[in-house]
Amino acid sequence: MEQHGLRQCDLPEVGAKSVVSAVLAGKRAMNLRQTQAMARRFSVPMEALVA
């Protein structure tokens, strides 16, 4: 996020700010739809986003 100058509210693909916060804190995993959207947004393979 820092590399792209993004804030939590800049990631509507993931969901509401509270959902983004939970994902970033490791308390919640992204679902398939969210992962696909983020991969498209950042032009990376989905595998790069899966821990």
Domain assignments of the chain as residue spans, ordered by start: 8-44
Residue 50 has pLDDT above 90, yes or no: no
First to last CA, the chain: 17
Q: What is the pLDDT of residue 4?
A: 86
The residue to which tokens 């994902």 are assigned: 23
Residue 49 has pLDDT above 80, yes or no: yes
Contacts 24+ apart (CB under 8 A), 4-7: 4/42
Q: What is the distance between the alpha carbons of residues 15 and 34, in angstroms, rounded to a whole number?
A: 8
Beta strand ranges found along the chain (DSSP E): none
Residue pLDDT, tens place only, 5-42 = 999 999 999 999 999 999 999 999 999 999 999 999 99
Q: What is the pLDDT of residue 40?
A: 94
Please give the model's pTM, rounded to 2 decimal places. 0.80
